[in-house]
Structure 1
C-alpha cells in the first residue's frame, strides 16, 4: 500500500490552510475562531459519533487501550528524561523544557481522525477514538504538570473541562448503554464530522510558525526525535508484544507517528512560557509527520 499517496490529501489541506492564512485576507484571527469552532463543537461531535456508531466490545478493545497507555507512558518518560541525559542535559534550558516536553507525546487529533477514516474506514475511526479517549487525559496531565506552578488553574481543572474528554466519555457511556444516534439525526451529525476534519486540517496549517526556532536546538531535536522516531518504534514493539491484530496495529502506529498537538503553543503561552518557541516546534512536527507517518505505517508488515 502506498501510504504516502494516502496521506497526500490531508497534508494538502494543511498546506492550503497555511497559504490562505499567510497570503489572503483569511488571516490568523479568522483561523483562531475556526480552530475554536472545531475544538469545542465540530470535533467533539465527530468523536461522539465515531464511538457510538458501532457497538464496542471493551474486552476486545482492552489490548489496544493498554498498548496505547504503554506507548504514551513511554513517550512521556523519554520526554521528561531529556534534561537528565549527560550528553544533552547541559544544553537544555529547564524552563524551555517544561514548556516543550509536551511536544514529544501530545498528538494532533484532527490529523489522526482524518487518517484513521482514510486507512481503515469506520472501524479505524472507532479504534483511534478509543485511543484518544484513553490517552488525552494522561497526556493533558503530563503536559500541564511541569508548568503547573505558573498556571492560573490546576491540571485537574484542565483535564475535566477538556471537550475531547467529555465527548469521549459520553460516547462510551452511550455505546455501553446500548443507545445509538437516531436515523433522522445521522445525516446532520455525519456532515458535522466531515466538516471538522477538513476545517481542522486547514486550521493546523494556518497555525504553523517558523519564527523562534534558532534557540534551543538541542531541546528541539530531542523532543522531535522522540515524537517522530522513538515513539513509532516503541509502538511497533508494543504492538508485537501485545499481539494486536492488523487494524489495531495500524491505528496504534498511526497514533504514535502523528504530528504533535497544535494547541501545545496555546497552553505554553497561557501558562507564562515561551509560546513562539513551542509554536515553531509544532510547525516542524507537522512537517516531520509527512515522513514519520509513512515510516511507521511501513512497519505494519513486520508486526
Structure 2
C-alpha cells in the first residue's frame, strides 16, 4: 500500500493527460507539440542537470552501472530472440517485431526520474541519472537496429541525432571534467526540470491508445512479459550478484519495472512502421506499471 500511495501522484498526472486529450480542446495535436518540447528540450536539460549536479564517483557507481548494462543487454537479447523461439516465432510478424521489440527493454524516463526523486530525493535522482546515462545509448541502439536493418535505413544517423544520447553523453563528460552549472542559472534549470517531469507524465497519458491492441496479441504479451515480469526478477538477481546497497537496489528495481518509453511510438512511426500498434503496447505497459512497480519495490525489495 505504501508504494501504491507513493506512485499515485505520478500516475494521476498520466490519467489527467489522458482525460485532457480525450475530453477537452487540448487534443492530440496539442500534445504532439508538448511531446516534442519535452523530448527535444526540457527532458535533455533535466537529464544533463541530474548528471552534473553532483561529482560522479565512477568507482563507487561501477556496480550499479554494470548491473544496469547487464540488465539492458539481457532485455535486448530476450526481445530479439522472440521470433526464434520454437512454436512462438511462427505467429510473430517480423515487421511488427522490428518495431515493438524496443517495448521490452526501453523505459519511461519521465516516470523514472519522478519516482527516483520521490523515493530517495537527490540521491535517487543521481543514481537513476547514472543508469540513464549508461543505458540510453545502449537501448537506443537496440531499438533502432532491427528497424534500420528491416527498412534498410541509416543506423548511425538515427543514433547521433538522438537528443537523449547527446544530453547524457555531454552530461557525463561535463561531470568528469568537473563542470558545474553556474549558480545564477541553477534556478532556471531547476524549473525546466520540474516542468519536464510534469509535462512528460501528462504527455505519456495523452498518447495512450487502446483500440490497436487487438492486433499481434502474442507478440504484445511476449514483449510486455519481458518488460514487467522478467526484467524486475533479473534486476533483483543482478543486485545480489553485484552486491548493491539498499539505495542502488531500490533504484535498479524501479528502473527495471518502469513502463516502456512513450517515445517508442514516435520512433516506430517516424521510421515508417505500425505506430498505432506500438502506441497500444505503450498504453498497456503504462497501465501495467501501476502493478509492476509496487510489486518490484515491495516484494522483491524486501528479499
Normalised TM-score (structure 2): 0.97
The answer on whether the counterparts of 2:95 and 2:150 sit within 8 Å (CA) in structure 1 is: no
The answer on whether the counterparts of 1:7 and 1:115 sit within 8 Å (CA) in structure 2 is: yes
The equivalent of 1:120 in structure 2 is: 120
The equivalent of 1:261 in structure 2 is: 261
The equivalent of 2:215 in structure 1 is: 215
The residue correspondences of 1:267-278 to structure 2 (distance < 5 A) are: 267-278=267-278
The equivalent of 1:301 in structure 2 is: 302
Matched, 1:97 2:111: no
The equivalent of 1:141 in structure 2 is: 141
What is the alpha-carbon distance in structure 1 between the residues aligned to residue 262 and residue 153 of structure 2?
A: 20
Structure 2 unpaired stretches of 5+: none
The equivalent of 2:63 in structure 1 is: 63
What is the alpha-carbon distance in structure 2 between the residues aligned to residue 74 and residue 284 of structure 1?
A: 22
TM-superposed CA distance for 1:141, in Å, is 1.1
TM-superposed CA distance for 1:149, in Å, is 3.6
The answer on whether the counterparts of 1:152 and 1:271 sit within 8 Å (CA) in structure 2 is: no
TM-superposed CA distance for 1:155, in Å, is 2.2
What is the alpha-carbon distance in structure 2 between the residues aligned to residue 145 and residue 27 of structure 1?
A: 32
TM-superposed CA distance for 1:48, in Å, is 1.1
The answer on whether the counterparts of 1:68 and 1:252 sit within 8 Å (CA) in structure 2 is: yes
Moved more, 61-70 or 157-166: 157-166
The answer on whether the counterparts of 1:111 and 1:201 sit within 8 Å (CA) in structure 2 is: yes
TM-superposed CA distance for 1:21, in Å, is 0.3
What is the alpha-carbon distance in structure 2 between the residues aligned to residue 267 and residue 152 of structure 1?
A: 15
**Cα distance, 1:185–1:152 mapped onto 2, change above 3 Å:** farther
Moved more, 164-173 or 202-211: 164-173
The equivalent of 2:176 in structure 1 is: 176
The equivalent of 2:17 in structure 1 is: 17
Q: Deviations over 1:83-141 (max 9, x none)?
A: 11113222211221111111100111111111111111111111111111111111111
Q: Deviations over 1:168-226 (max 9, x none)?
A: 12222222122211221111111110011000000000000112211211111100000
TM-superposed CA distance for 1:153, in Å, is 4.5
The equivalent of 1:240 in structure 2 is: 240
Matched, 1:158 2:158: yes
Moved more, 196-205 or 209-218: 209-218
What is the alpha-carbon distance in structure 2 between the residues aligned to residue 163 and residue 269 of structure 1?
A: 17
**Cα distance, 1:269–1:52 mapped onto 2, change above 3 Å:** same
What is the alpha-carbon distance in structure 2 between the residues aligned to residue 192 and residue 268 of structure 1?
A: 27
The equivalent of 1:47 in structure 2 is: 47
TM-superposed CA distance for 1:161, in Å, is 1.4
The answer on whether the counterparts of 2:98 and 2:150 sit within 8 Å (CA) in structure 1 is: no
The answer on whether the counterparts of 1:150 and 1:272 sit within 8 Å (CA) in structure 2 is: no
The equivalent of 1:191 in structure 2 is: 191
The equivalent of 1:84 in structure 2 is: 84
TM-superposed CA distance for 1:152, in Å, is 7.4
What is the alpha-carbon distance in structure 2 between the residues aligned to residue 121 and residue 5 of structure 1?
A: 17
Count of matched residue positions in the alignment of Structure 1 and Structure 2: 302
The equivalent of 2:285 in structure 1 is: 285
Structure 1 unpaired stretches of 5+: none
The answer on whether the counterparts of 1:151 and 1:270 sit within 8 Å (CA) in structure 2 is: no
SS in 1 for 2:293: helix
**Cα distance, 1:25–1:267 mapped onto 2, change above 3 Å:** same
What is the alpha-carbon distance in structure 2 between the residues aligned to residue 153 and residue 93 of structure 1?
A: 20
The answer on whether the counterparts of 1:45 and 1:193 sit within 8 Å (CA) in structure 2 is: yes
Runs of 4+ in structure 1 off by over 3 angstroms are 149-153
